[in-house]
Amino acid sequence: MEKRSVLIVDDDSNVTATIGECLESFNYNLQVASSGEEAINKIADPSIALVLLDINLPDISGFDVLATLKQKNSAVPIVIMTGFVSTDAAIEAMKKGAYEFITKPFDINKLIGIVNKVMKDSPYTKGLETFSRERKIEESDIIGKSPEMVEIAKVIGQVSATDASVLITGESGTGKELIAKSIYKNSLRNDKPFLSVNCAALPETLLESELFGHEKGSFTGAYARKLGKFEVCNGGTIMLDEIADMSPLTQSKVLRVLQEQEFERVGGNETIKVDVRIIAATNKSLVNLIKENKFRVDLFYRLKVVSLYIPPLRERREDIPQLIEHFIKRYSEETGKNIKGVSKEAMERLNDYVWPGNVRELENNVHSAVVMAKTDVLTPEHFPILSDQHEQMSIDLEQLEDDYTRMFAEVIIPNFNKIVAVSNGHVYHHLQSGFEKALFSAALKQSASNQVKASDLLGISRNTLRDRISKYGLY
Ligand SMILES: Nc1ncnc2c1ncn2[C@@H]1O[C@H](COP(=O)(O)OP(=O)(O)OP(=O)(O)O)[C@@H](O)[C@H]1O
Ligand SMILES: [Mg+2]
């Protein structure tokens, strides 16, 4: 059998040489094309088992080359390489049928891993057909070049041709709704409706009627028949936002929609058939709710056919400057101002800030800075969050619970087996009294054993304090 080849398409001879060196120890033939046209001519060669394709070619755009190559030989996996990273490019590459999307300068080990994987199960035939269909590309507003955002963009591209349910998780303000809309915009259903329902905003009966509709007279105030979102959205995509807050009864009805594509309106007997794609989002841990029997595990699995976790902004700080620039541009245009950017000091401090409210918090702050600014460069004074006082406050109000959970988790989780072993079935009681003793001792020490001061400090009554002092013998 003829030796299999890897075709490298890149006009930069340094790149082709580096890849050539990397692949030298493997038993592959190397072929090089330095333009799109050359690549298109070469793809007919049946020995080619893998294409490494640069996006920036001298003659034709790499995306067009990708589409043509897929048309001529849809079975050959094509890895897109690019030095100009954007989420748009990653989405487009995956939609056009790319096998992988890697960024330059690339991680040699990653490249070798991809080559090995492809060459092992080549010819690559599985699952490509669905991805290679050409569709119109919608402009996407997702800003970010961090590896995390590029991965997310790749998944958006990959799920675009499917109807798979997607579960999006991430802290508040990380962009869950934006990502859901992007999945919709890039999907085959983008000519059908997209509706979002906030499951936390409505009490159970209203949410049910919102989702499934109701018949006239089904409850007080139901003066006429009302169609629910599932019915209105038939053929389209529905976003179930804050899904963790959905009641068990509603969960079972949604599960039925996912399994049987059917439901009845509240107070009605007629079974209604629908075809809707579901994208669910939450900032809570569904796994924890499942453990507490508050969320159905079967629904969980139905929802997370594909799951997407959006990391908090503080874990992908390299996206901060680009987001700032993006929102300055947007709000400058909106307010008719001509803000050029942020000063070096402001940028440094905005980079270091924790952003407990994630991108939404950043957007709001840039917005108000742009509105308030009298100069064309934004300085730290334009960002109240950068003042010490504010930082203190935002941590107190928004981060407190999470921070403490993390602090205790750091102690409890690694020692948990030990704690269980020595607590003789009284884990909760032992941890609780250990915590209280430590806390009350610290407060008494801080207030020099003045009980009034100590109870004020802790925000509890003097009686409670006295009770704990005698309970734990803390004199
Ligand atoms: N990567 C991003 N690029 C551009 N804008 C973003 C990005 N991420 C978030 N945003 C913007 O930040 C704001 C908050 O995003 P979004 O509403 O999608 O967050 P969320 O995760 O749904 O938050 P919540 O959990 O509070 O509902 C929106 O205005 C959105 O457009
Ligand atoms: Mg949201």
Q: How far is the CA of 316 from the centre of ligand 2 (A)?
A: 19
Residues 270-306: tens digit of each pLDDT: 999 999 999 999 999 899 999 999 999 999 999 999 9
What's the pLDDT at 121?
53
Q: For residue 142, which atom of ligand 1 is closest to its CA?
A: 3
Q: Whose CA is nearest to atom 23 of ligand 1?
A: 173
Ranges 158-162, 171-175, 222-226, 310-314: which has the least confidence: 222-226
Confidence tier at 165 by pLDDT (50, 70, 90): very high
Looking at 1.10.760.10, 1.10.8.60, 3.40.50.300, 3.40.50.170, the CATH number of the domain 313-386 comes to 1.10.8.60
pLDDT digits (tens, 9 = 90+) for 130-149: 222 233 223 347 999 999 99
Query: From the CA of 144, which ligand is nearest?
Result: 1
**Ligand 1 atom index nearest CA of 174:** 21
Residue 134: its pLDDT value, please? 30
pLDDT in tens, 72-110: 877 789 999 988 888 888 999 999 889 889 888 877 778
Domain residue ranges of the chain, discontinuous segments joined by +: 5-151, 162-310, 313-386, 423-475
Q: What percent of the chain has pLDDT over 90?
A: 53
Q: How far is the CA of 101 from the centre of ligand 1 (A)?
A: 24
Q: How far is the CA of 394 from the centre of ligand 2 (A)?
A: 20
Architecture of domain 423-475: Orthogonal Bundle (1.10)
Return the closest-CA partner of residue 159 out of 303, 310, 305, 309.
Answer: 305
- Cα–ligand 1 centroid distance for 309 (angstroms): 13
| Mean pLDDT value across the chain | 86
Neighbours of 18 (CB within 10 A): 18
Q: In the CATH hierarchy, which fold is given to the domain comprising 162-310?
A: Rossmann fold (3.40.50)
Say what the pTM is. Answer: 0.68
Helix, strand and coil percent figures for the chain, each rounded to 5: 50, 15, 35
Region 391-406: what's the mean pLDDT?
A: 58
Question: For the segment 235-267, what is each residue's pLDDT rounded down to a tens digit?
Answer: 999 999 999 999 999 999 999 999 999 999 999
For the chain, give the percent of residues with pLDDT over 70. Answer: 92
Sign of CA dihedral 313, 318, 324, 325: negative
Q: What's the pLDDT score for residue 294?
A: 93
How far is ligand 2, taken at its centre, from the CA of residue 464, in Å?
A: 40
Q: Which residues pair with 32 in a beta bridge?
A: 8
Ligand 1 pocket by Cβ (under 6 Å): 141-144, 170, 172-178, 283, 359-360, 363
Q: What is the pLDDT of residue 23?
A: 78
The SS3 of residue 210 is: helix
Fold matches, 5-151 and 423-475: no
Query: What is the number of the ligand closest to the CA of 180?
Result: 1
CATH of domain 5-151: 3.40.50.2300
CA 142 – ligand 1 centroid, Å = 9
Q: Whose CA is nearest to atom 31 of ligand 1?
A: 178
- Other Cβ atoms within 10 Å of 387 Cβ, number: 12
Task: Classify burial at 120, counting beta carbons within 10 Å of its beta carbon; exposed 0-12, middle 13-18, buried 19 or more.
Answer: exposed
Query: Which residue's alpha carbon is at the smallest distance from atom 28 of ligand 1?
Result: 360
Torsion sign across C-alpha atoms 397, 283, 189, 214: negative
The answer, yes or no, to whether residue 156 has pLDDT greater than 80, is yes
In this predicted structure, the answer to whether residue 422 has a pLDDT above a threshold of 90 is no
Q: And the tokens for 342?
A: 């942020």
